[in-house]
Amino acid sequence: MDSRYVKLERRPELERPVLIVAFSGWNDAAEAASVTLSTLGDAWESERFGGFDPELFYDFQATRPQIKFDQGSSRKIEWPENELRFANREGVGSRSARDAVLFSGPEPNYRWHAFAENIADLAEELGVELVITLGALLADVPHSRPVAVTSISEDPNLIEGLDVASSSYEGPTGITGVVHAYCANRGLPSVSLWASVPHYLPSVPSAPAALALIESVSELLGAEVDTSQLEKTAGEYEEQVASAVQQDQDLASYVHMLEERYDSQDDSAGEDDLPSGDDLAQELEGFLKNQRGDDPPGPPDE
């Protein structure tokens, strides 16, 4: 592990740890993965112990720092960062007596080889026994049905022992795919969990998808997670989307088609006469923002 890239503020003592990773950005449709990791960190009372140097991995014009108010009128700059946190097994409540390491932050812009290599180095130094990455993808699925989560691994023992699938995907990948490749090269077991979210709601944070990911993590680890607040948020999400659907005939027709296809698993359902999900996305998201009372962005801070 290269100290130029990884800055550890302390070195926690860990028992059979699992590393859980989520990145915002390309791998994180509807913010489901990042919401999942944040919920896990809060529920398990995780503590920060380090991070990766943002100066070496980010284009600050693409991933901009934020100005925040700190303690009243004092202002500070918050830089994009990949943060490391840990939770002991008492907080995790795991039947398998595992501690957890949580790694979060934006997908890096630069030095993906060094970034992934240092994650693998860190995992080895901390004695990590399993790496879990969280992701979410846009799919032709209705919001009114249970969220599907796909579990994927390249490790033959995990495929057989945990009933996860091997991946046959070919095409563009995000940083999670690179991390898994480096884990496989080191012989470090890893599993990727992907939630499917409605492609007509790409920018509306999906609490239902986060709940589904948390359930998969809980089942995989035998761990307990308090999701009461997230369940409340998921209920509000479903109410808002249902209200939008009821007020738009085109949208209702499109969602109904997706529901029928989901229920019948019949890909031949005719959608040629219906508007596309992409065409409806802007209208629907505008409706939801009005429902939430979101204010338009103000002028940039000088």
Whichever domain contains 172, its CATH number is 3.40.50.10900
Residues 192 and 237 in one domain: no
Residues 257 and 288 in one domain: yes
Long-range Cβ pairs for the range 218-221 (8 Å, 24+) = 220/132, 220/151, 220/162, 220/191, 220/193, 221/18, 221/92, 221/94, 221/96, 221/98, 221/100
| The last residue of a domain, from among 181, 196, 226 | 226
Longest CA–CA separation in the chain, Å: 60
Quote the pLDDT of residue 68: 85
Mention every residue, 6+ apart, whose C-beta is less than 8 A from residue 1. Answer: 118, 121, 122, 125
| The last residue of a domain, from among 172, 205, 226 | 226
Backbone angles phi, psi at 247, to 5 degrees: -95, 5
Q: Is the pLDDT of residue 122 over 60?
A: yes
Residues 116 and 245 in one domain: no
| The last residue of a domain, from among 226, 257, 283 | 226
pLDDT band at residue 70 using 50, 70 and 90 as cut-offs:
confident
Residues 204 and 268 in one domain: no
Residues 13 and 127 in one domain: yes
Is there a domain that residue 299 lies in? no
* Exposure on the CB side of residue 209, measured as CA atoms within 13 A: 31
Q: What is the mean pLDDT of the chain?
A: 84
* Average pLDDT value for residue range 108-132: 95
Residue found under tokens 């599993």? 191
Q: Is the pLDDT of residue 89 over 80?
A: no
* Average pLDDT value for residue range 174-192: 92
Residues 98 and 244 in one domain: no
Q: Is the pLDDT of residue 301 over 60?
A: no
Which tokens in the block code for residue 9?
Answer: 């503020």
Residues 217 and 284 in one domain: no
Residues 106 and 249 in one domain: no
Quote the pLDDT of residue 29: 94
Residues 158 and 282 in one domain: no
- Classify residue 182 as exposed, middle or buried by CB count within 10 Å of its CB (0-12, 13-18, 19+): buried
Quote the pLDDT of residue 292: 54
* Number of separate domains in the chain: 2
Nearest Cα to 54, choosing from 77, 76, 75, 27? 77
Higher pLDDT, 127 or 75: 127
pTM of the model: 0.83
Quote the pLDDT of residue 12: 94
Quote the pLDDT of residue 276: 46
- Residue 239 belongs to what domain range? 232-292
Quote the pLDDT of residue 14: 94
Residues 70 and 215 in one domain: yes
Higher pLDDT, 288 or 47: 47
